[in-house]
Amino acid sequence: MVPLADNTPPSTIEQPVRQRRWPRWLAAAVALLVAAMLLGAYGWQPAEDGRAFRSPYLAQVGSRYADTPTARFHYVQAGAGTPVILLSPGGTSVIGWKDQLDVLARDHTVYVVDLPGQGYTQLKDSGFAFDLDAMVSAVGAFMDGLRVRQAALAGNSWSGGWALAFAQRHTLRAQRGGRGHLGAALVRITGNGDDRLRGLSGKRQATSRHHVRAAARSATVW
């Protein structure tokens, strides 16, 4: 008898796929780098004391402080008239308003303030949350510290959001006049140096000087 041919294909043994793994030292280095970045962003707090540097601008205009339970607010002041409060732009200090201070001071008492986390303001409230509610309350605390009952507010970058939120929640303290317009404005800095403000109550834009002047017409001081 002739044996039948075996047509069964030969079995193949699959070789295990070898996965590429990072060297342990590289994985450890990446983990340490991420941990250092998180610590720097959320854990480390710069010392409030020992801020020795003083800019020539502050030497010229003069620093002032308002002590409140929330913070010891650093601010500069110029002019005389109805009050205008300029909130320091995000990531900077009172110097961010140096070009507007002299112009507005011709007709108003202008306060430029560093809120908690900015400039030379020293935080006292250990439970300060640095969220929108906390920053809005800080604006009110600064006004209370200076006994400013009502003022026009302006902000640039994230401080524009604080100014508008304060005006929404405390309309009687940031009111422009008898028609219910809110005396707060958000500054938009354009590339050509043209500073413009957009009021919360309308779409019309105007130069920073004229808009803040209009918002400050009926502001009063205790």
**Looking at residue 25, what is its pLDDT?**
80
- The phi and psi torsions of 142 (rounded to 5 degrees) equal -65, -45
User: Which residues does the chain have with pLDDT short of 70?
Assistant: 1-22, 43-54, 175-222
Question: What letter does residue 94 receive in the DSSP assignment?
Answer: G
Q: How many CA atoms lie within 13 A of 111 on its CB side?
A: 26
Q: Which CATH architecture has domain 59-215?
A: 3-Layer(aba) Sandwich (3.40)
**Tally: H helices and E strands in the chain:** 6, 9
DSSP string, 29-66: HHHHHHHHHHIIIII----SS------HHHHHH--EEE
Query: What's the alpha-carbon Rg for the chain, to the nearest Å?
Result: 29
Q: What's the length of the chain? A: 222
Q: What pTM, to 2 d.p., does this model score?
A: 0.62
Residues 144 and 134: their CA atoms lie apart, in Å, by 15
**What are the residue boundaries of the structural domains of the chain, listed by start?**
59-215
Residues 149 and 147: their CA atoms lie apart, in Å, by 6
By three-state DSSP, how is residue 166 classified? Answer: helix
Written as one letter, the residue type at 210 is: H
Task: Quote the tokens at residue 72.
Answer: 């010891």
Q: What share of the chain is helix, strand, coil (3-state, %, to 5)?
A: 30, 20, 45
pLDDT 10s digits, 188-217: 433 333 344 334 333 333 334 444 444 444
pLDDT 10s digits, 132-156: 999 999 999 999 999 999 999 999 8
Residues 97 and 88: their CA atoms lie apart, in Å, by 7
Residues 66 and 74: their CA atoms lie apart, in Å, by 7
**Looking at residue 157, what is its pLDDT?**
85
**Looking at residue 13, what is its pLDDT?**
57
Mean pLDDT, the chain, whole residue set = 75
**Looking at residue 8, what is its pLDDT?**
59
Residues 9 and 6: their CA atoms lie apart, in Å, by 8
Q: Which of 96, 54, 77 is nearest to 148 (CA)?
A: 77
- The phi and psi torsions of 20 (rounded to 5 degrees) equal -80, 130
**Looking at residue 151, what is its pLDDT?**
92
